[in-house]
């Protein structure tokens, strides 16, 4: 069996730039279409509530989503809730790669990878996850890809009952890591999905995924799931999930305080301080900073940031420690593009206001009576674009940054928009903030998304050197990628193509029964081993 990745549309829905556009993620900042929500009254009592007995389902409050389709906006939620999975997955810290459902991955030539599946893996409906099923799933995923990579532009071929190959157009050094992207390559039972027809609601109960929890009911108020009896990665400890759709993040926190749910996803940052000492609920931060708040800089003709000196001055004028000082444990100060702990991270973001002022002086931007600089009758002013769907904390970062940049003579206005991927015009904005993986088993794909893809390259970067480095990075095996990753980051810094304002950790509010809760990995918040505290 052979398939050209990118052909066919096996499950209805739109995947266009869904990884980073407004919808994206149950972790900080992803909001789907607001549906009718469960009404939850804030608790007044101060006595602790008991968590669920170990025999009861885990009760989770999260943002609403609309279907179990592999495409569209629901895919991220299905990964978070332990429903959908990819062949491989990042380790808990986000930087390594767990081979997951793969037994082996061998690069037999610069463009060919031989992949072997674990024996005995099954979908939730009991059907075998064999090579034919995986090739069908990857082909369907590729047909709805949000950007080109080596998998969705390559050729997939079954070579045995549990083996298949991916042949890329260009040399590809780390296809196993590319397969770990939950927004790109969820594994699902294509035949069962096709049998459901065009109605996404018909996917309920068909067990098309491989995760530990199989959905049995979905309506505008929530989702119910039972343990997957065929789960490949050990027995499922919980007897099921009871997911409540609660659009208001404050109401999600109140639901935990009331004892109505056990875990609230995506709480507001203010909950960290408000819950301090509260015996009913605790604010929990994940052990890794997964999201980077990347501020793309507008280089379109007519933008004040089209001048490299202005872009460099903005980077130098940011007090990165000060940006996150009041935002609690959910943010980590950014010294560069990638989260602390990455072997390839470069610390090239340095607060130097004197250098920032000197750069602006040299570029002819002169302070006016109110301290804001001007040049040839034009005020040094631009908008900062942020969207709650990309990260509620992005608005908080903007307000702090606004005051910092005034100190060097920049008038930045904070502007909330529906989509930071689609700025309202070409020249009024200067910074547009999106979430991206700052902890990643496949950093090349993150850089490619931010710097070159049609969706992520919002600022209009056009740099042949970056393209050359990306090509070399993509061809290199993992052991040889770090020097190329550092060089690529240096080019970004030298030209001030953008800046990471902070690294944002996943956060949760939990009941006393789940006081020891920690997510098992990036975008995997509910795993098979999860259970109440003893």
Least confident of 109-113, 264-268, 362-366, 484-488: 264-268
State the helix-helix crossing angle for 481-495 and 443-451, rounded to 10 degrees. Answer: 30
257: enclosing H helix or E strand? helix 249-257
- Are residues 285 and 507 in contact, defined by beta-carbon separation less than 8 angstroms? yes
State the pLDDT confidence band at 37, using cuts at 50, 70 and 90. Answer: very low
Task: Using pLDDT thresholds of 50, 70 and 90, give the confidence band for residue 50.
Answer: very low
Asked if pLDDT for residue 331 goes beyond 60, the answer is yes
Note the Cα 48 to chain centre separation in Å.
34
Please report how the helices 308-316 and 353-362 are oriented relative to each other, as an axis angle in degrees rounded to 10.
160
pLDDT in tens, 443-468: 888 888 899 887 789 999 999 999 99
User: Binning pLDDT at 50, 70 and 90, where does residue 60 land?
Assistant: very high
pLDDT value for 329: 72
**430: alpha, beta or left? (left if phi > 0; alpha if psi -120 to 50):** alpha
Under DSSP, the state recorded for 86 is -
Chain centroid offset of residue 456 CA: 13
Mean pLDDT, residues 389-399:
89
- C-alpha separations of 487 from 175, 303, 338, 479, 483 in Å: 21, 27, 13, 15, 6
- The count of C-alpha atoms lying within 13 angstroms of the C-alpha of 304, restricted to the half-sphere facing its C-beta, is 26
Q: What is the pTM for the complete model shown?
A: 0.83
Decide if 84 contacts 33 (C-beta within 8 A).
Answer: no
- Which residue ranges make up each domain of the chain? 291-504
What would the two tokens of residue 99 be? 């081979």
Among 4-8, 69-73, 113-117, 446-450, name the one with the lowest average pLDDT. 4-8
| Helix, strand, coil share of the chain (percent; to 5) | 25, 20, 55
State the Cα–Cα distance between residues 259 and 282, nearest whole angstrom: 12
pLDDT at 98 over 90: yes
Res. 75 pLDDT band, cuts 50 70 90: low
Band (pLDDT 50/70/90 cuts) for residue 1 is very low
Average pLDDT over residues 299-327: 95
- The radius of gyration of the chain's CA atoms, rounded to the nearest angstrom, is 23
* Residue 197 pLDDT class (50, 70, 90 cuts): confident
- Specify the pLDDT at position 34: 23
Judged by average pLDDT, the poorest of 55-64, 73-82, 243-252, 507-516 is 73-82
Of 89, 30, 533, residue with least CA distance to 284:
533
Q: Are 215 and 30 in contact (CB under 8 A)?
A: no
**What number does CATH give the domain 291-504?**
3.10.105.10
Which of 112-116, 296-300, 392-396 is the least confident region?
392-396
What pLDDT shows up at residue 187?
A: 96
pLDDT at res. 416: 96
- Rounded to whole angstroms, how far apart are CA atoms 301 and 464? 19
Q: Give me the pLDDT at residue 438, please.
A: 82
What's the CA angle centered on 147, arms 143 and 149, to 5 degrees? 85
83 neighbors 215 (Cβ within 8 angstroms):
yes
pLDDT for res 73: 54
Does the pLDDT value for residue 415 go beyond 80? yes
Location of structure tokens 């050359």: 468
CA 66 to CA 459: how far, in whole Å?
A: 32
For 380-410, letters b (16+ CB in 10 Å) and e give bebbbbbbbbbbbbbbbbbebbeebbeebbb
């Amino acid at each position: 069996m052979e398939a050209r990745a990118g052909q066919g549309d096996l499950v209805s829905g739109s995947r266009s730039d869904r990884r980073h556009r407004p919808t994206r993620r149950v972790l900080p900042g992803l909001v789907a279409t607001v549906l009718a929500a469960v009404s939850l009254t804030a608790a007044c009592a101060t006595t602790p509530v008991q968590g669920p007995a170990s025999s009861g389902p885990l009760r989770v409050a999260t943002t609403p989503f609309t279907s179990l389709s592999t495409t569209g906006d629901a895919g991220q939620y299905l990964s978070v809730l332990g429903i959908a999975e990819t062949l491989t997955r990042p380790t808990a810290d986000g930087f390594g790669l767990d081979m997951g459902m793969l037994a082996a991955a061998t690069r037999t030539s610069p463009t060919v990878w031989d992949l072997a599946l674990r024996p005995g893996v099954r979908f939730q409906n009991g059907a075998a996850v064999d090579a034919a099923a995986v090739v069908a799933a990857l082909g369907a995923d590729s047909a709805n890809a949000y950007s080109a990579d080596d998998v969705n532009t390559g050729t997939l071929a079954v070579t045995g009952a549990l083996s298949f190959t991916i042949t890329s157009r260009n040399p590809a050094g780390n296809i196993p890591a590319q397969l770990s992207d939950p927004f790109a390559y969820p594994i699902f039972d294509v035949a069962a999905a096709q049998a459901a027809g065009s109605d996404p609601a018909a996917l309920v109960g068909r067990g098309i995924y491989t995760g530990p929890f199989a959905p049995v009911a979905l309506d505008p108020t929530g989702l119910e799931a039972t343990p997957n009896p065929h789960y490949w990665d050990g027995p499922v400890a919980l007897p099921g999930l009871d997911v409540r759709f609660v659009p208001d993040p404050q109401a999600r926190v109140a639901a935990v305080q009331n004892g109505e749910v056990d875990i609230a996803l995506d709480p507001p940052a203010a909950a960290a301080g408000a819950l301090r000492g509260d015996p009913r609920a605790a604010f929990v931060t994940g052990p890794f900073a997964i999201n980077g708040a990347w501020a793309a800089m507008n280089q379109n003709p007519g933008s004040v940031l089209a001048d490299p000196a202005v872009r460099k001055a903005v980077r130098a004028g940011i007090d990165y420690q000060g940006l996150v000082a009041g935002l609690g444990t959910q943010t980590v100060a950014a010294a560069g593009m990638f989260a602390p702990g990455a072997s390839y991270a470069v610390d090239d973001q340095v607060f130097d206001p004197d250098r920032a002022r000197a750069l602006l002086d040299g570029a002819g931007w002169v302070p006016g009576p109110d301290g804001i600089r001007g040049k040839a009758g034009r005020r040094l002013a631009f908008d900062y674009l942020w969207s709650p769907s990309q990260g509620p904390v992005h608005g908080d970062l903007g307000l702090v940054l606004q005051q910092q940049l005034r100190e060097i003579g920049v008038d930045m206005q904070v502007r909330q928009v529906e989509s930071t991927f689609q700025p309202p015009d070409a020249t009024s904005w200067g910074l547009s903030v999106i979430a991206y993986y700052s902890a990643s088993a496949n950093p090349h794909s993150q850089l490619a998304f931010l710097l070159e893809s049609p969706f992520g390259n919002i600022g209009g970067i056009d740099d042949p050197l970056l393209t050359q480095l990306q090509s070399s990075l993509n061809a290199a095996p993992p052991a040889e990628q770090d020097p190329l990753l550092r060089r690529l980051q240096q080019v970004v810094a030298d030209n001030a193509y953008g800046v990471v304002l902070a690294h944002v950790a996943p956060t949760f509010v939990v009941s006393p029964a789940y006081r020891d809760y920690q997510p098992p990995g990036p975008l995997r918040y509910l795993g098979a081993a999860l259970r109440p505290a003893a």
